[in-house]
Amino acid sequence: MRKSKEEINHNSVGLVIAKNQIINSSLKLDSGTTLKDYNLCYETYGILNKSRDNAILICHALTGDQHAAGYNDATDRKPGWWDNMIGPGKPVDTNKFFVVCPNNLGGCGGSTGPLSQNPSTGTAYGPDFPIITVRDWVESQNQLLEILEIESWAVVMGGSLGGMQAMQWAIDYPDKVKHSLIIAAAPKLSTQNIAFNEIARQAIRSDPNYYNGLYKTKNTFPEHGLKLARMVGHLTYLSDDILHTKFGRELKKGKIEFGFDVEFEIESYLKYQGESFIGQRFDANSYLLMTKTLDYFDPAEKYDGKLSDALKKCQANFLVISFSSDWRFSPTRSMEIVRALLENDKNVIYSEIESELGHDSFLLPIPQYHRILSTYLNKIAVT
């Protein structure tokens, strides 16, 4: 259904057109591979001021993309993935800030990734696209920063994997990040989280239609495997409390049928989540890459495992936010970051938000969460 002008413009950045930036330089990746002439697809909201010092970089999470706010078309059913956060009068106020959100390399939102043409073969990269790290993303985004002729980010922020990028930015380019907002993140994945990612990858790779990542050449797609991967991933984003509150042990038909079809409401919900993800046609090879990026993230690795040493040269002010019911990246993991910053006498504010909604809380308009971000960012805008 086409939206009215009033629906689009009300407290929204409105209709947005994604931009493509071909970066005509080589990017040496952590894996040792070099990408040449790669593309970054990104969206912007708000206006860059004359001093060019009001720019915010939004870093997306695992299956996110550049479409963080507004609508790409008047017929879109939903706005961008962080629309409740970004827009006029919202915590990331586009009346005050110029907001940039790129699609990460290796994704499938328009930036160079497995679906892109490999210049050496003339066909899609597919499974041959190199493994990407968070440091690689920061390097590519820094080249975009220079093309936009912005000296430094007023803020780099994101949730989950996006929060890890915000931390890496503050480490790699301390003079280019004034404020780092790390939300629902961790300094590295736990063993349990790596295990969940491997289960998701195995679900995709064992799908008969995966064809070792060459499914495009077979004109097919590993739908079943990707659906299972999404179901596993989505389950880790929710808390046990919210699952019990929403579904409990409710049966779809009110009685046990002694079979293996969907009977419980939670089974139906997870099946819906998997099928709707398939409907978005997220690329399976990109999903494999993104989970590996998560697994490899460990900025302290180069410093004999000492996170405080990794953060020593940071110049940014930090806001670290966690959510009480987030068991994937628990408040304890956020406190590891806070302690490492305090050991270096860095300026850091920490807040644990009460929420029963689990890891996905960072995407939702929780009043206390939004108030904290609004207060923090408004002070930056006034300064």
Q: Using one digit for the tens of pLDDT, what is the confidence trace for 272-303?
A: 888 888 867 799 999 999 999 999 999 999 99
The first and second tokens of residue 64, run together, are 């996110």
| pLDDT band of 265, cuts 50, 70, 90 | confident
Under CATH, which number does the domain 5-189+299-382 receive?
3.40.50.1820
Q: Using one digit for the tens of pLDDT, what is the confidence trace for 353-365?
A: 999 999 999 999 9
Where, residue-wise, is CATH 3.40.50.1820 in the chain?
Answer: 5-189+299-382
For residue 186, the tally of other CB atoms under 10 A from its CB is 25
Where, residue-wise, is CATH 1.10.1740.110 in the chain?
Answer: 194-291
Q: How far apart are CA 16 and CA 67, in angstroms?
A: 9
Amino acid, res. 304: D
Q: How far apart are CA 237 and CA 225, in angstroms?
A: 19
Q: Annotated catalytic sites, by residue?
A: 160, 326, 359
Per-residue model confidence (pLDDT) at position 279: 66
In the predicted structure, residue 267 carries a pLDDT above the cut 90 = no
E strand segments, 166-267: 179-183
| Eight-class DSSP state of 131 | P
Under CATH, which number does the domain 194-291 receive?
1.10.1740.110
| pLDDT band of 256, cuts 50, 70, 90 | confident
pTM of the model: 0.94
Q: Which residues contact 105 (CB under 8 A, 6 or more apart)?
A: 35, 38, 40, 111, 112, 113, 132, 136, 137, 140
Task: Give per-residue burial for 219-250: e unless 16+ CB within 10 Å, then b.
Answer: eebbbbbbbbbbbbbbbbbbbeebbeeeeeee
